Amino acid sequence: MNKNTLPLRTKAGYAFAETGITAVQFVTQIYLLKFYTDVIGLSPSLAGIALSISVIWDAISDPLMGNLSDRTSSRWGRRRPFILVGGLLLSLSILILFSPTTLSSQFGKFTYLLCSYLLVNTAMTIISVPHIALGGELTFERNERTSIFGWRLFFSNIGMLVGMLVPAIVLQTLSNENNIENVKYSRAIASEIIALVIAFSSIITFLVTRGRDESLIQATEKSHFFQSMRSVWSNKVFLPLLIAFIIATIGRTFNTAIALYYYQYRLGLKESDVVLNILLPFFLVLMLSIPFWVWISKKVGKKIPAFWGIFLLGVLTMIAYPLFPYGELRPPLIVAFFGGVFAGSILIMDSILTDVVDYDEWKSKEKREGIYFGFWKMGVKFSQAFGIAISGFLLDFIGFLPEANEQIPELGFRLSLIFGPLVGLFFVLGALLFLLYPLSDKKHLAIQRRILRRRKEIKSI
């Protein structure tokens, strides 16, 4: 085995925690807004505000968490303790989120959603920022990093399947999918299953990555947080990448928040049909496409495959979704196949961010994965907060009526314009902005060689 090649056990064990992290992200993105509007009876606008406030707090806390994990020194490392504690707290908080007490007023429903989702997002910050930062520290070899983030995306998709399938399968086992009490019961059971997945996966990652946390051997002088923050925002390589990803993430947030509304009110499909016959094939194809994107990024570099994957996903979304006929599964299933292939390119973006961290180390002489991945997640979550809030207001604007037996006839067409052209436009804009990213593969390799020479010089002193 090449000395730069990580054992499979390490790569898979590190990535396993992403199963629980993504299961929570996905169950909240797909089901939470609809659960609180249709089942709990909260108005879409208030639900959107509560969710967006929680996500904004999550975004603000991400760079703080990244900086804290950069500075932490313990016998267990600087990242691993947070992965364990955050995973257990996230397991508890998801149970609270989907098990609301009986509430009659809009204010009470709003307050419960706001407080419980704030708890979920706090726990998410504690586990997810140190976890993704640890992935950039496991190896210095660029192709191995792509492989690591390929494994991370693989387990992320396992988590997506858990977060997507479990609520639908539990609901399908009940007699009537449209019964509000059945929906409420299914979400509570699903949250218990997902809580177990979170706890188990975070414990496994904590155990398998023992001895791999770089803080055990590194003790360098650190910049103050605000000095580090200024350095991040002045990084000419980081900002184009972050802005492009934020724009694309707004589109992805619209997509996940509106999906169940679109398939129900535009295409007339049941939740179980959507999840099992459209979303499940999409994510299976996405998972199977990961080795292709890892391979092609090794052959031709990272930038061009990432651009074409996101750009083609946007074009496909803009064209296809307004055209699907009512009540048919085959057309969206075909589009889901191609969309899954294109969406697999997303793994390259996280791998590119590790190149940016190398650039920063070359300039600053410090290793600051935590704060960079913290700001990365902060930007993404601000875009999610924006997308969630606007989704709630758009539902009100286009005439959606919570807890209503019948909706206005125009609702389906209006949903198709949001789910298709609007979502696709954000993907296309994100891809075009990504072309401004200036760090080529050739430049990155030269930077890595300089960093290695400097590290050898420091060791020889």
pLDDT for residue 221: 46
Please state the domain extents for the chain: 9-207+225-460
Which CATH superfamily groups domain 9-207+225-460?
MFS general substrate transporter like domains (1.20.1250.20)
Q: What is the pLDDT of residues 159-203, one digit of tens each?
A: 988 998 899 889 888 877 778 888 889 999 999 999 999 999 999
Q: How many other C-beta atoms can be found within 10 angstroms of the C-beta atom of residue 221?
A: 6
Ordered mean pLDDT values, 10 residues apiece, the chain (461 residues): 69 90 88 87 88 81 80 79 94 93 86 94 90 78 76 85 88 81 90 95 91 53 60 79 88 82 88 83 85 86 89 94 89 91 81 82 75 76 76 82 73 89 93 89 84 74 59
Nearest of 192, 172, 18, 162 to residue 93 by alpha carbon: 192
Enter the tokens of residue 147. Answer: 């492989």
Q: How many other C-beta atoms can be found within 10 angstroms of the C-beta atom of residue 445?
A: 12
Query: What's the rounded Cα separation, in Å, for the pair 181 and 186?
Result: 9
Nearest of 299, 86, 284 to residue 203 by alpha carbon: 86
pLDDT for residue 11: 87
Nearest of 75, 68, 366, 364 to residue 220 by alpha carbon: 366
Q: What is the pLDDT of residues 318-330, one digit of tens each?
A: 999 999 989 888 8
